[in-house]
Amino acid sequence: AWAMEAYEKGLITKEDTGGIELNWGDYKTIIRLVEMIGRRESFGKILGEGCHRASQIIGRGTEEFAMHVRGLEIPMHDPRAFKGMGLQYATSNRGACHLQGTFFRIEQGERVPDLKIFRRVYRFETKDKGWMVAVMQDWHQVIESLGLCKFVQIHPGHVAGFYSLATGIVKRVADLQKDGERISNLVRVFNVLCGRGGDYDKLPERFLKQPLGEGGAKGQVVELDVMLKEYYSYRKWDSRGIPTREKLEELGILSLVERRISELGIELTLT
């Protein structure tokens, strides 16, 4: 999609593609490009880098059309139609991934009482989505750690029961949720130490400023700043998107984080 839009705008030419025309809906060309990506041939070698790196290689303003967060392409769920997904994409530690919380389920009306999501959530609203997205992200860390399928949507209470029976360690949903929160914060600290902290909690400008032109979400954009402020507040992260000392101590990982910062010789002040 990045290559086709940039080609349509005249920013990518046949000279770049090896003589291939890139037209929307041309499935034969798409299949050909997929094969070229797999073989790392010609233009396929560039496409195989993903739209973020590919746009940096080509340059010429094509970066504007690279729809990604932290280098991972935006999935099928347009955040202008599901605004909580916009926040999930922006804050996901691995980039724009729909599986780091599957918040579209909540925006389609699913309730999760065990996680204190009691009401139906309207997909265009922003209220409460900061804390709800955080809760769903933490729970999905649990699901990933247990190797369960996210699409099966096993009731959290059942997951806690399965865990307790399988391990002999009795855990409630709240205990597992705290474990998930600990993982989320550890991964966030890892990203911060790699130079990928709150400055990367962003969405492509298109989703923030260019309203959808048709369909059920016509006229919508993502009000990311409002949701992100609530998200940071709920997580007890500072304005830089870094977990606070209070939060890390609550989770029992403050000494671990401080030791790692010292070992790496990184100048990072925890607030």
**What is the per-residue pLDDT across 181-209, written as a single tens digit (0 to 9) for each?**
999 999 999 999 999 999 999 999 999 99
Q: Classify domain 73-264 at the CATH topology level.
A: 1.10.599
pLDDT digits (tens, 9 = 90+) for 46-71: 999 999 999 999 999 999 999 999 99
CA distance 29 to 36: 10
State CA 265 to chain mean position distance: 29
Q: What's residue 34's pLDDT?
A: 97
Residues of the chain with CATH 1.10.599.10: 73-264
Which residue in 28, 32, 5 sits closest to 18, CA to CA? 32
Q: What is the mean pLDDT of residues 96-111?
A: 95
* The pLDDT of residue 132: 98
User: Which tens digit of pLDDT belongs to each residue from 133-145?
Assistant: 999 999 999 999 9
Number of H helices, E strands in the chain: 14, 2
- pLDDT for res 91: 98
CA-CA-CA-CA dihedral for 178, 160, 190, 201, to nearest 10: -80
For residues 233-237, average pLDDT: 98
Give me 185's structure tokens. Answer: 């914060």
What mean pLDDT is reported for the chain? 97
Identify the pLDDT of residue 138. Answer: 99
Q: SS3 for 232?
A: helix
Write down the H helix ranges in 60-128.
83-91, 104-107
pLDDT at position 244 is 98
| DSSP codes joined into one string, 233-259 | HHHTB-TTS-B-HHHHHHTT-HHHHHH
Q: Read off the pLDDT of each residue in 226-254 and give the average, rounded to a whole number.
A: 98
Q: Examine the pLDDT at 156 and tell me if it is beyond 90.
A: yes
Q: Stretch 111-133: mean pLDDT, rounded?
A: 97
Q: How confident is the model at residue 22 (pLDDT cuts 50, 70, 90)?
A: very high
- Return d(Cα 262, Cα 254) in angstroms, integer: 12
Positive or negative: CA dihedral 6, 8, 14, 17: positive
SS3 112: strand
Q: What is the CA angle 67-69-70, rounded to 5?
A: 130
Tell me: pLDDT of 261 over 90: yes
Neighbours of 47 (CB within 10 A): 20
Average pLDDT over residues 214-226: 97
Q: Is the pLDDT reported for residue 153 higher than 90? A: no
